[in-house]
């Protein structure tokens, strides 16, 4: 997004420290792991198999960083998390496309709010009397179904 729409990217990342690392290289992995050692929540948006290839699956992360929570954004829930998909796919599945293209990326935008809620849930769990690191998954298809509720129920 930063390449094709720099102004919007800048607007959406105000106050966010952006670090770039090629996770397919040793240097990129080392950079990431230096950050993870001092991080409370890792937010990812890869398919589960890609996380495994990058050494970022939950089982491994949990062993390496017991105090680290992970919020994993995927396209669809459950077994469908491996399927590639797009906002329009999830809107169509939720019956929110009726002839014209939607005016905005409803699934992506609602999914981002659901991800923020998951991050807050993880942070609260880490700060509880008995801290527990969490692995939470946010599916964009679930976000589409959520924004479709008023329409489905009249």
Distance (Å, whole) CA 39 – CA 19? 13
Predicted TM-score (pTM) above 0.75:
yes
Q: How confident is the model at residue 154 (pLDDT cuts 50, 70, 90)?
A: confident
Classify 8 as helix, strand or coil.
helix
- pLDDT tens per residue, range 28-57: 999 999 999 999 999 999 999 999 999 999
Q: How confident is the model at residue 119 (pLDDT cuts 50, 70, 90)?
A: very high
Q: Please give the pLDDT value at position 142.
A: 96
The contacts of residue 94 (CB under 8 Å, 6+ apart) are 141, 144, 145, 147, 148
Give the DSSP H/E element, type plus range, for residue 92: helix 87-93
Q: Please give the pLDDT value at position 111.
A: 96
Contact of 106 with 144, CB cutoff 8 Å: yes
DSSP 21-51: --TTSHHHHHHHHHHHTT-SEEEE-S-HHHH
Across the range 87-96, mean pLDDT stands at 94
Distance (Å, whole) CA 56 – CA 42? 10
């Amino acid at each position: 997004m930063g390449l094709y729409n720099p102004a919007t990217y800048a607007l959406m990342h105000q106050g966010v420290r952006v670090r770039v690392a090629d996770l397919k290289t040793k240097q990129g992995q080392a950079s990431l792991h230096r950050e993870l050692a001092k991080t409370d929540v890792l937010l990812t948006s890869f398919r589960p198999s890609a996380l495994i290839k990058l050494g970022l699956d939950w089982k491994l992360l949990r062993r390496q960083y017991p105090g680290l929570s992970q919020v994993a954004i995927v396209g669809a829930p459950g077994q469908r998390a491996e399927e590639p998909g797009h906002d329009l796919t999830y809107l169509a599945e939720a019956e929110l496309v009726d002839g014209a293209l939607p005016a905005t990326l409803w699934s992506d935008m609602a999914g981002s709010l659901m991800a923020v809620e998951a991050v807050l849930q993880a942070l609260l769990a880490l700060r509880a009397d008995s801290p527990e690191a969490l692995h939470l998954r946010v599916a964009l298809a679930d976000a589409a179904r959520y924004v479709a509720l008023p329409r489905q129920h009249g």
